[in-house]
Homo-oligomer: A and B are copies of this chain.
Amino acid sequence: MKEVSLTTHRRTEFINITSLIQDALTRAGAGAGICFIYCPHTTAGLMINERADPAVVHDIGSFLEECVPENHPWTHAEGNSPAHVKAALIGGSVQVAFEGGKLLLGRWQGIFLAEFDGPRKRKIWLAIAS
C-alpha cells in the first residue's frame, strides 16, 4: 500500500491529483494492472470527471453546496454533517486500469480529491494489482 499526501486550501475544493497518482504508479514500477485509489477520510472523497475545464468541478461543487444545505436539522455535534453527506454522495474510492505503466483514463478525465471540510492535510492510499 502506497500513500500520497496533500494539503487542501479551501472548505470545498476539487484538486486534480492525476499526476500525483501517476507519479506514485511510476515509482511502483508496475507495467499493467489496476490501481485502487482510496480516501481514508470521512469528509472528503474521490471523483473522476472532466479535467480540461476547471468550471466543471466548480459547478459540481456549487451544486453540492445548494443540494446539501447548511440549515438542515443536523444532529452531529461537530457541525460538519454536510461534508459527510457530500462525501457519501461522491464516494471514497475509484479504480483505474493501467498499461505500460500509464493510467488508462478517458480523454477528458482527471482524478480529483473532493475536499468538503477543508483546509486540511489529506492522505490518499493506493493499492496496485499487477
Contact = CB atoms under 8 A, between A and B. Distances in A.
Interface of A: 1, 34, 36, 38-42, 47-50, 53, 55-56, 58-60, 62-63, 66-68, 72-78, 81, 84-85, 87-97, 99, 104-109, 125, 127, 129
- Where chain A touches its partner, the secondary structure class is mixed
Given A59-B84, A77-B55, A34 B72 contact: no
A123 to B, nearest CB: 8
Contact of A55 (B76, B97, B104, B125): B76
A104 B125 contact: yes
A128 to B, nearest CB: 10
B62 A73 contact: yes
Contacts of A125: 97, 104
Contacts of A106: 39-42
Nearest to A44: B106
A19 to B, nearest CB: 18
Given A42-B49, A60-B81, 9 more contacts: A1-B104, A38-B97, A40-B104, A49-B84, A55-B81, A56-B84, A60-B88, A63-B72, A89-B90
